[in-house]
């Protein structure tokens, strides 16, 4: 605890979001203590897993994930004017605030907070960076999936993915996309009178018509039930078997990126 306490004496200047650290020292927070404090003070508004409640925003969405460590500490300490977020600087010690922030990072699927002489930022792991390039380019995953502010809406958002899926479950999801389909992302097949079949993400349904989102995500199309041959549910996911077609190195890169989310 002493090595954290020594650093945290400098947190009095948190209002400026500035932290001074020796280049040779890294500071780790106490996640267990942070969980106890979070459960006592934070979960009533933000939910037991940071999913958000009526009184508090999610702590695992893209906005919260993009906060720097300094920014997260500042919000907890000072609160946010004009919202229900209280300032905890007068109630919790600097060490306690640091521990709560670290536990929130764990809820986001990230390691315990580590502050060194640089700001937190995007991963510099070569595997993660290469995987992100694959995701956004040749593998074309970004066409259907969103992370941060990027991507499509045919597939589920991937922010906080590592906190929702174990490594085994993630591997199963990319190897066998149809094994488990996330609720709300089911596939409909519309067979038109000329025999043409159209597949897409189910969006809306009524007595008169069904609406699906095209496989490329670009169009929402309405089909009147009395003008088509049939409308059926599909047990197959719209997600292509892209992962299986990649080489071993590319598979490792893509998985590393997904685990970083």
- Please report whether residue 120 resides in a domain: no
- Please report whether residue 47 resides in a domain: yes
What pLDDT, on the 0 to 100 scale, is given for residue 112? 62
Based on the domain organization, do 85 and 192 belong to the same domain? no
CATH classification of the domain holding 228: 2.30.30.100
Based on the domain organization, do 210 and 161 belong to the same domain? no
Based on the domain organization, do 108 and 147 belong to the same domain? no
Based on the domain organization, do 131 and 203 belong to the same domain? no
Per-residue pLDDT of 17-71, as tens digits, reads 333 332 222 334 456 778 889 999 998 899 988 898 888 889 988 888 888 888 8
Sheet holding 209-214, edge to edge: 220-224, 209-214, 197-205, 187-192, 228-234
Based on the domain organization, do 53 and 153 belong to the same domain? no
CATH classification of the domain holding 24: 1.10.760.10
- Please report whether residue 160 resides in a domain: yes
Q: Is 124 exposed, middle or buried (0-12, 13-18, 19+ CB in 10 A)?
A: exposed
Based on the domain organization, do 158 and 253 belong to the same domain? yes
Number of domains in the chain: 3
- Please report whether residue 49 resides in a domain: yes
- Please report whether residue 161 resides in a domain: yes
- Please report whether residue 181 resides in a domain: no
d(CA 165, CA 173): 9
Based on the domain organization, do 89 and 202 belong to the same domain? no
Per-residue pLDDT of 171-183, as tens digits, reads 888 988 888 888 8
Last residue of a domain, one of 115, 150, 167: 115
What pLDDT, on the 0 to 100 scale, is given for residue 55? 82
Query: Which of 95-104, 147-156, 247-256 is least confident?
Result: 147-156
Domain containing residue 51: 2-115
- Please report whether residue 141 resides in a domain: yes
Per-residue pLDDT of 189-235, as tens digits, reads 999 999 999 999 988 888 888 888 888 777 888 899 999 999 999 88
Based on the domain organization, do 16 and 95 belong to the same domain? yes
- Please answer whether residues 223 and 210 qualify as being in contact, where contact means their C-beta atoms are separated by less than 8 angstroms: yes
Query: Which of 9-13, 75-79, 126-130, 246-250 is least confident?
Result: 9-13
Based on the domain organization, do 156 and 202 belong to the same domain? no
- Please report whether residue 182 resides in a domain: no
d(CA 22, CA 13): 16
Based on the domain organization, do 196 and 89 belong to the same domain? no
Based on the domain organization, do 171 and 191 belong to the same domain? no
Based on the domain organization, do 99 and 217 belong to the same domain? no
């Amino acid at each position: 605890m002493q090595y954290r306490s020594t650093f945290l004496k400098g947190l009095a200047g948190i209002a400026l979001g500035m932290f001074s650290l020796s280049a040779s020292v890294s500071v780790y927070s106490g996640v267990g203590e942070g969980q106890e404090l979070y459960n006592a003070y934070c979960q009533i508004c933000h939910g037991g897993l940071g999913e958000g409640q009526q009184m508090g925003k999610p702590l695992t969405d893209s906005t919260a994930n993009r906060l720097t460590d300094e920014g997260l500490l500042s919000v907890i300490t000072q609160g946010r004017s004009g919202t229900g977020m209280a300032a905890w600087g007068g109630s919790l010690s600097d060490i306690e605030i640091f521990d709560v922030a670290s536990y929130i990072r764990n809820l986001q699927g990230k390691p315990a907070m580590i502050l060194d002489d640089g700001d937190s930022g995007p991963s510099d792991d070569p595997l993660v960076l290469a995987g992100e390039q694959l995701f956004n380019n040749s593998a074309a995953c970004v066409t259907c999936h969103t992370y941060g502010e990027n991507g499509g809406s045919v597939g589920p958002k991937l922010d906080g993915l590592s906190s929702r899926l174990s490594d085994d479950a993630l591997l199963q999801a990319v190897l066998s996309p149809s094994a488990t389909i996330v609720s709300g992302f089911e596939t409909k097949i519309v067979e038109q009178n000329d025999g043409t079949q159209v597949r897409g993400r189910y969006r809306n349904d009524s007595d008169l018509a069904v609406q699906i989102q095209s496989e490329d995500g670009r169009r929402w199309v309405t089909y009147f039930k009395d003008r088509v041959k049939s409308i059926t549910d599909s047990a197959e996911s719209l997600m292509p078997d892209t992962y299986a077609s990649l080489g071993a190195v590319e598979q490792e890169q893509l998985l590393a990126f997904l685990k970083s989310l």
